[in-house]
Amino acid sequence: MIKKISHIAIIVPDLDASLAFWRDTLGLELSHTEEVASQESIVAFLPAGEGEVELVQPTTDTSGAARFLARRGPGLHHIALEVDNLDEMLARLKAKGVRLINETPIAAAGGNRAAFIHPESANGVLVELYEAPRQ
Amino acid sequence: MIKKISHIAIIVPDLDASLAFWRDTLGLELSHTEEVASQESIVAFLPAGEGEVELVQPTTDTSGAARFLARRGPGLHHIALEVDNLDEMLARLKAKGVRLINETPIAAAGGNRAAFIHPESANGVLVELYEAPRQ
């Protein structure tokens, strides 16, 4: 049911300064940047093979990303795994007693469906389950 | 020069308890476990597409992984990006003033070559550059 690592999200205070490292120094390509209203952030997408590194700059002081940045500084925020059927996966996780942040799917970047597992159920890791649109 | 996301490493205190979530609940497959002497850890490898989730249980109290676990609890430890030529990449990073933990490659799991970039140069993220053996 899990198809691949979809992306790794890194919270940063300044997208341009971060691109100087991830794009210009490390050599990843920048596919595009997108304002993700639901996350109150601007996100830069840098493909790496079949996955992506995402740099997330909060645009407000109130989002989860902004509070993470204020509390812990820049760093790894979450990993996203692509699933083929998000509804089935969420039903399965609920049945097994996994603590979910989103019991029903939310809108992720690009308008796709996603849901987050609480770090308490996943060894301290914030895990996004991401469902790509069917081709 | 960067080919893909090679793996995401998560430090855990108890591999069996963690497999109950990542394998049995989430549905990832366990390919194998391996004692990685250079990291003083036992590592479980769970493929996801072209990448892997790695669960790392320290086997001593002195390794970087053990100190991370003691200080911060379980969680995301590092991401690994696969490069086609590690020597070239390290030369490039040094020329650009990036702070490296390993100026020359070390032995990673499977006997492959790797080097770590210091989080200070990478938005608080510990980044492993991993060179797979040439086919």
pLDDT tens digit sequence for B73-83: 999 999 999 99
Substitution target from A125, A128, A129, A130 for chain B, most B beta carbons within 10 A: A125
Q: Are strands B2-11 and B51-58 parallel, antiparallel or unpaired?
A: parallel
The answer to whether A73 contacts B124, with C-beta atoms less than 8 Å apart, is yes
Helix, strand and coil content of chain B, in percent to the nearest 5, comes to: 30, 40, 30
Amino acid present at A10? I
Domain boundaries, chain B: 2-131
Q: How confident is the model at residue A109 (pLDDT cuts 50, 70, 90)?
A: confident
> A6-42, pLDDT tens digit by residue?
999 999 999 999 999 999 999 999 999 999 887 899 9
Q: How far is CA A1 from the centre of its chain?
A: 19
Residues of B in contact with A5 (CB under 8 A): 5, 8, 48-49, 51, 53
Superfamily of chain region A2-131: 2,3-Dihydroxybiphenyl 1,2-Dioxygenase, domain 1 (3.10.180.10)
Chain B touched by A132 (CB under 8 Å): no
Residue with tokens 């609940």: B25
The answer to whether A79 contacts B8, with C-beta atoms less than 8 Å apart, is yes
- ipTM metric: 0.94
Query: How far apart, in whole angstroms, are the C-alpha atoms of residue B78 and residue B126?
Result: 5
Give the B window 56-115 contacts with A, CB below 8 Å: 72-76, 79, 81-82, 89, 92-93, 96, 98
Amino acid present at A121? S
Average pLDDT over residues B100-129: 93
pLDDT at residue B39 is higher than 90: no
Identify which of B111, B120, B93, B96 has the alpha carbon closest to the alpha carbon of residue B1: B93
Chain B touched by A10 (CB under 8 Å): yes
Pull the structure tokens for residue B100: 């490296």
Average pLDDT over residues B98-121: 92
Evaluate whether B74 touches B17 at the Cβ level (below 8 Å).
no
Identify which of A59, A122, A85, A70 has the alpha carbon closest to the alpha carbon of residue A2: A85
For residues B70, B76, B78 and B83, what is the CA-based torsion angle, rounded to 10 degrees? 160
Write down the pLDDT at residue A135: 59
pLDDT at residue A102 is higher than 90: yes
Identify which of A99, A96, A128, A125 has the alpha carbon closest to the alpha carbon of residue A115: A128
Average pLDDT over residues A100-126: 92
pLDDT at residue B29 is higher than 80: yes
Evaluate whether A80 touches A130 at the Cβ level (below 8 Å).
yes
The answer to whether B2 contacts A55, with C-beta atoms less than 8 Å apart, is no
Q: What is the pTM for the complete model shown?
A: 0.94
Write down the pLDDT at residue A119: 97
pLDDT at residue B23 is higher than 70: yes
Query: How far apart, in whole angstroms, are the C-alpha atoms of residue B92 and residue B98?
Result: 9
